A and B are shown apart, each in its own frame.
Chain A
């Protein structure tokens, strides 16, 4: 490969030297011509004959034709000559000079033969003055766009002549014109305007956008198309539609923004993990990594690079997209159906997200933009825990309930109370009355602050354009000592090298630093800060009399929650992402593009558990240092060709090759028993542990691909697109190295049919249908038979390394293939005041890659296999309406999507649990069915329960229904069998939300803009995970574990109407529908109010635009759910926050 790259470099050099000629200014060129021309050996005649039969062609094409038919080479100044202008030619065997005379004259271009060159010049640029006009006068002015920004390079033409000029960098022009002239002002993307000069000396023009030709371009895999020509299901999200302040990563911003993309936040911590999923979860049983992310043509790795903590604490889940600065993003395309994604083949089964970063435009005036914001955060919700009085009183009540039950008193039996020892409470009334409450959760929380600054420079000359930016983001979380910072820089350069070559580079460097806090929801000795605070006895102070951290004698395994804040845990993820492209356009219509790049990620983590913490004291301080590296190298080569025949047959094709190599490795070391806490991880050798920990790993992977796409479009009415990709991966067995993924799409732009021209209601209408296949190969190295170390055992006084088979091979493992049918409709009504798209899709995932469960007698329980088929169906709708336009404008965006994912087929060796069904929905609830609580009436006099399947139940315990049993052969037998076992478990459908909704409104009046955005998930039920411990297990009060205040509402002998089960430990504790609650929610994601300052004279020379805004994020959420947050919740959830931001955007 290296050799080929070298060859390639040679080639580039070659190109550069020889074709630099073309990009030089004419004057310089003419000097060079004389030098080069001495080498010219072929003599030319001006009378050489040429034949061009096409009637209307571009000048560019004409030049090409002549160059091909003769030995002449054209030279011209690119700014001087517009190559795209059309010329009429009909020449059969005509002398070249005659052809040029006829064609160029109308364009106001003169030509000159010089050896074997023909040089072109514009007449008005000719200082010798070919066209001499009479009664002229000077007119000047500024041409601006609707925003008052100067337009550079706009054309001004005297109507009916070839005379004209273009605007300079400030939008100014000056032109000598006849006094009766009418000026035509034109610029690509704007409506042409005509103004009669009359006696005006200054004519300023504000150009109006031509909405038709300004049509959006949508990025697709390895290319882009006009939105109207899209055949696949793609949702585009523009950067300006994303909330700016107080969000670290793209994921957090995308919630509810795109139909078909489900974004759910995993944790409310700074930089918290985000789960993004496109069109359900049918694919990727082996681990659905979510969509493939491609940044400027580079498929990036989205592995979490943060190494593990190497100690007993976890620090929660962070988003791997944190390294990408959202302010650098220009647009995001979400590729949904197989027609759109199949070009990414084996990695596209879960959709593709294309991210395009900002670039400068040619001829754009340099522009410096600054945006900054500061946000303040306050926690909105955390689970309500008992205070000291409540804790003590409830502990006594729990103990008393046990006392009654153990002695079979009252509702628990018929023992005579006088025969048993009296009850002695744990806490006396005095103790309860005098107890001081410690707010443990409050002690580890604080208010959060986010600051961010973005500075960018964009601009371009006629050949070069650039975008350079820097970003600083700092988030101090609402849990103490918890924060995250990002530093990032980006440089995107594009350079035109004459007519044939365009090249550029994208370079992004970023660092994300986290101050981690133990946030894991592990229990007992593994409890992190929040879990330890929830567990903590609220009647204990944080510090004892000596100022040391209090330890709870009732929970000797539990570290003091506040002490855990003394731990230091820093992680850093550095990322370099760079790619270089070169586009060669040997002739009009053909682009050959090379794209090469690399992504280098490096994660580092340093932790220290000091001796001031419980486990740090026992370990004598515990330090660790870990690194992980991951790199990916990419080489793509694509060729694309576009041609139009007879004006109506638009044809384009693209073919390419791609090679990507991935490697990852890592290293970690740790030690304990330090003489001092001062070293932290900086002097690991100072630890006295007899065997300090050390570890490393490494792996590699190769993906090679070929792909092609063909598009045909007849008269912008009938469109067809076909793609094919072949992927080969080192991950698969020899027989199945290559996978092929075809797709085909048809579209009908009905609006362009003649019968649609008569009406005015419908302004856009396009039907689309697509069918295609994508794949999934996300199985790591799991297809190989492997022996692993780590099965160690001590013999004598040292550890011996043990080796055992850890993985079985499956030589027949195949790619997972997703086949998807999509039907889409794009529509617009009332001059596109209402626009939108609708999609229906159905997909089937065959050869599903997942672990197949083997018979339990096998030492290795699972083998990677193709275990069946899953299917997904869905509907998506995105609507944008411009309700009011004009001075007061109001627009509304609505997105709505729904999915249903289910099993279609199972492997014949499927180990079916008795409650499972062949075609169950994915992510299912399989639960026991509850029937309220056991009441005293359900009890026998001897203290046993009347329910035959729950003889040991006590009053207040959840009653489960005995629905089914098993027959002799183990098959399900309907009807009670007197046993409570998994035959009584019932399939209750999916845990996945049924509907996803996003709803936004934007208002603008004069300089003010107001945006209110909501999103929500509907049709979902959840079990409050905090209740799983802090309500359900109220008996843990006996162990000193604090409980949620809801625990007061439990069943007890003196509270027989209690809603929640008793504190007596339940031997029939089952996962049941008892705990499910409605978790539908509609969250107000943000309310943003902005004000753009009006232009101030003189100041607008410096500051072109100034907008200030205020924003409230998560101001309220509409839900009945009892937990911390219906979207992101866990046993010890990071508290959600209300964020208030103030920001400013300035353009210089």
Chain B
């Protein structure tokens, strides 16, 4: 006995430890994410990946494109024009044309957009190798292509041309770094055009209700119109508008109902960001606009009171314009402890002193806290009608057809047959009138900046607002310095910065 036992011990321990070594499984365990080998296997995978391409458009997050947050693409577009001001000092550098090349709030979109373009490029390639129904595959690919076209258009809008990647192989191997250059204007426009055109040729014109919000043929054309308008390719713009005319869109009978929850998915909307008060991303517009004291039926709506519309813009509306029910310059309210309601005006109400209230989106009775279910309208038929009128006017002057489209818009808001004769006398007068009418119709929808730039009025409008620091080069925002640096100087800054 005796020693033998202990010798056994040691050998047992040795076996034990060897055994453990052999069962040392060093494969990584990932339980809550997906490894690439298991992805792009079927249509469900493809659909979920396409959903992700839409993600940056959501309304309810400060970093997203169409959010009501002060530094979003949408709001910065509004802020540099005369249709929007700030009640708080959050982003005066943008409102007052004080930015420089180091202001990340205006440069950041460039980086985001080129990344979104790349993600779309990769996904279009991934979709090709996904086993699934060929027609669905083509439709999904067209959605991604339309998104890419839109991302590139937004780049073009804010920064002029950009360096983007449309070759998936470049992205498959990120270690192999490519120094991009900014494409020439012709090349870049052509790239956007070809994406949107080929998307438009495949995309369906409508979807079933539960797919509402995806890119449609109409959406692709609506973006294309914007591109042609900025390029002053009036004939192309007109043709694209007429394609949209074929798709069955119509004006809603009341202006505010275009934006209401009750009338969601109405057929004036060409493309919108679907919003949910709960259970998904919501619309933060009203929260950003409503000041304390303003009467709302739903007391769960949070009021942050960040943006307003300067009085100078408000005063461009005529009396009786129905749109002034959405751009509120005065309202009745019941002061605390009072029995009779009082009319709040810019002269007596603290929170109207700085400007009118752009209550574009009517209350959602289901809103709680910051988020409402009003879909954020990006492209709509009224916009297309005015664009068509402008495209015709630029080619042929104020024709009857062109005037009739403007008339349709005005008739809807209770101003029928009120276009002054002097306005339709010549191309230039009608051009100015359309610009103003577009401002009144599309206030705070993110189009006015482009409209003013197209008519070379962005800087003069800023000067009229008292922002004397606005300079001609500020029609484009600066490119982020780190993009220039990483390109080792191949990407050049916009002139003036």
Contacts and interface: CB of A to CB of B under 8 A. Distances in A.
Q: Tell whether A and B belong to one assembly.
A: yes
Interface of A: 1, 3-5, 7-8, 11, 14-15, 18-19, 67-68, 73, 406, 500, 524-525, 551, 553, 556-557, 584, 586-587, 592, 594, 614-615, 617-620, 635, 637, 657, 659, 665, 672-673, 689-691, 696-702, 704, 728-731, 737, 781, 783-789, 791-809, 854-861, 863, 909, 911-914, 952, 968-971, 979-982, 1035-1036, 1038-1039, 1065, 1067-1068, 1070
A704 B15 contact: no
B25 A911 contact: no
A803 to B, nearest CB: 4
Nearest to B126: A805
Contacts of B25: 702, 730
B88 A1039 contact: yes
B317 interface: no
B19 A4 contact: yes
A1057 to B, nearest CB: 26
A797 B481 contact: no
A154 B48 CA distance: 78
Contact of B54 (A701, A787, A793, A855): A793
Interface residues of B, number: 113
A800 B300 contact: no
Closest 10 CB pairs of A and B: A691-B279, A791-B52, A1067-B98, A802-B51, A802-B52, A799-B280, A796-B210, A700-B29, A804-B52, A970-B489
Contacts of B178: 855, 857
A788 B31 CA distance: 11
Interface stretch (B228-236, B270-278, B389-397): B270-278
Contact of A911 (B28, B48, B486): B486
18 contacts: A1-B20, A18-B5, A587-B6, A618-B368, A619-B369, A691-B280, A702-B24, A731-B28, A781-B28, A788-B34, A794-B274, A798-B280, A799-B280, A855-B486, A857-B163, A857-B178, A909-B177, A1067-B92
A508 B379 CA distance: 64
Interface string B13-29: 10111011101111111
Contacts of B28: 730-731, 781, 783-784
Given A793-B54, A969-B488, A970-B488, A859 B119 contact: yes
B292 A556 contact: yes
B274 A8 contact: no
Given A637-B16, A859-B171, A18 B1 contact: yes
Nearest to A544: B336
Contact of B30 (A617, A784, A858): A784
A700 B10 contact: no
Contacts of A912: 485
Contacts of B481: 914, 981-982
A911 B482 CA distance: 8
Interface in B191-239: 208-214
B64 to A, nearest CB: 11
Interface in B381-437: none
Contacts of B177: 854-855, 909
Contacts of A19: 5
A859 B118 contact: yes
Contacts of A557: 302, 304-305
A7 B92 contact: no
B27 to A, nearest CB: 6
B434 to A, nearest CB: 33
Nearest to A1035: B89
A785 B35 contact: yes
B29 A799 contact: no
A910 B58 CA distance: 33
A551 B292 contact: yes
B455 interface: no
Given A3-B19, A795-B211, A981-B102, A914 B485 contact: yes
Contacts of B58: 793-794
Interface string B109-138: 001001111110010000000000000000
Nearest to A731: B28
Given A787-B36, A1065-B92, A15 B9 contact: yes
A592 B13 contact: yes
Nearest to B274: A794
Given A793-B51, A856-B115, A982-B481, A952 B98 contact: yes
Contact of B165 (A7, A784, A857): A857
Nearest to A982: B481
Contact of A795 (B34, B93, B213, B278): B213
Contact of B17 (A637, A697, A798, A969): A637
Contact of A787 (B33, B117, B350): B33
Given A691-B279, A911-B486, 7 more contacts: A689-B368, A704-B24, A789-B33, A795-B274, A855-B178, A856-B114, A979-B101
A658 B495 CA distance: 63
Contacts of A73: 2
B12 interface: yes
Nearest to B51: A802
Contacts of A854: 174, 177
Given A702-B24, A1039-B88, A855 B33 contact: no
A911 B115 contact: no
Contacts of A1067: 92-93, 96, 98-100, 469
Contacts of B7: 586
B26 A730 contact: yes
Nearest to A637: B17
A592 B52 contact: no
Contacts of A18: 1, 5
A985 B26 CA distance: 46
Contacts of B208: 796
A11 B279 contact: no
